[in-house]
Amino acid sequence: MLTSLGGGLLGLLDRRLVLSAWLPAMLFWGGLGALVVTGIGWPTTAHWWLGRPGQFQAALLVLALAWITFCAYLIATLVPAIIRSGEGYWPRLLSRLARWRRGRHLARQARLSMDAAAFGRRHADYPLRAASVMPTRLGNILRAAEDHALDRYEINAIVVWPRLYVLLPDRFTGALAAAKLPLDLMAVIGALATAFAVAGTVIAAIMLPSYAALACAGGGLLGSCLAYAGAVQAARPYAQLIRAGFDVHRTLLLDAVGLRRPRTYGEERSQWEQLSHLWLQGAPEGPTGAALLGYPGLPPADEPPAETSGTRRFLSWWAR
């Protein structure tokens, strides 16, 4: 009965949710439950359990599985917030820590900029502009992927990506989801390990000897650190696919909204810049912005000077 029940519940969950949220939630609550049972005593707990009617045991197992499933869905909704926290989007209370961490990463970015042999590592791990540097390694890897579209095409990735994603080929979105799964899993494990370090320490301090509380605190924090290191490694292939999505498939969005494809690189940058303004602010920028959007019924706008400020930044970066 329990096997069929568990299989039925897992059948309601997709593979991504099971791996990234349901199993970590089960381990988290199982660990806390093991601490409580250890504090009470395993023989005492086993005697109490065996003395309960079978219907009571089945109902308790159903409630436990339902609770874990509920927590899994709740965790899945919090994954973006957990990842943003790992990126360094912290509350104002931690602003001094954020400034100190950001200063360290700025110094590292500057060192990599001066080292020609480290160009590829800098390109993968840090945004090109100092203003975009984040307080954490994870934040810098993902921010570099976001800025990739802006630096090369004047595309505001935050605005354009949700519109582009729905047009991506199934093969590409499958690869993107497969690359995102380890990142989500590491983020969830890190958050639950931190929660276990707090809740497990409190339970162990109340019900178990002091060394058990120290073990829970140390084990939880160690698990959180290892999960963060895993998230950093998992973010790199995911970030590369984000770059590839803009590099290879960006014109799908122009076709979908019925706009003309640009003829030159300078025209493309101007077109995407105006599209980003339109979708973010509700209107193109400046009196000539509408002409740069590329509507088929309008003649192509005069191409802006090649040496725009964004182009100069890109060319100076490329020449390094």
Residue 227, C-beta contacts closer than 8 angstroms, at least 6 positions apart: 186, 187, 189, 190, 193
Q: Which long-range contacts (CB under 8 A, 24 or more apart) does 65-68 make?
A: 65/5, 65/6, 65/9, 66/9, 67/29, 68/22, 68/25, 68/26, 68/29
Structure confidence at residue 301 (pLDDT): 57
Structure confidence at residue 10 (pLDDT): 44
**Are the beta carbons of 39 and 203 closer than 8 angstroms?**
yes
Q: What is the pLDDT of residues 283-312, one digit of tens each?
A: 888 777 778 888 886 666 554 444 444 444
Structure confidence at residue 312 (pLDDT): 44
Mean pLDDT to the nearest integer, 264-268: 91
Residue 126: pLDDT band (50, 70, 90) is: confident
HSE-CB of 239 using CA atoms within 13 angstroms? 23
pLDDT at 227 over 90: yes
φ/ψ of 237, rounded to 5, equals: -65, -35
Alpha-carbon torsion (84, 85, 86, 87), positive or negative? positive
pLDDT at 118 over 80: no
Structure confidence at residue 299 (pLDDT): 61
Mean pLDDT to the nearest integer, 228-236: 95
Residue 73: pLDDT band (50, 70, 90) is: very high
pLDDT at 313 over 90: no
Q: What is the 3-state secondary structure (H, E, C) of 198-210?
A: HHHHHHHHHHCCH
**Are the beta carbons of 144 and 317 closer than 8 angstroms?**
no
pTM above 0.85, yes or no: no
The DSSP string of 28-70 is HHHHHHHHHHHHH-HHHHHHHHHTS-HHHHHHHHHHHHHHHHH
- Cα–Cα distance between 145 and 235 in angstroms, integer? 10
- Helices of type H across the chain: 2-11, 15-17, 23-40, 42-50, 54-87, 95-114, 119-125, 137-153, 157-165, 170-207, 210-249, 251-257, 265-281, 309-318
Structure confidence at residue 7 (pLDDT): 41
pLDDT at 107 over 90: no
Q: What whole-number percentage of the chain has pLDDT above 90?
A: 62
DSSP 19: I
pLDDT at 249 over 80: yes
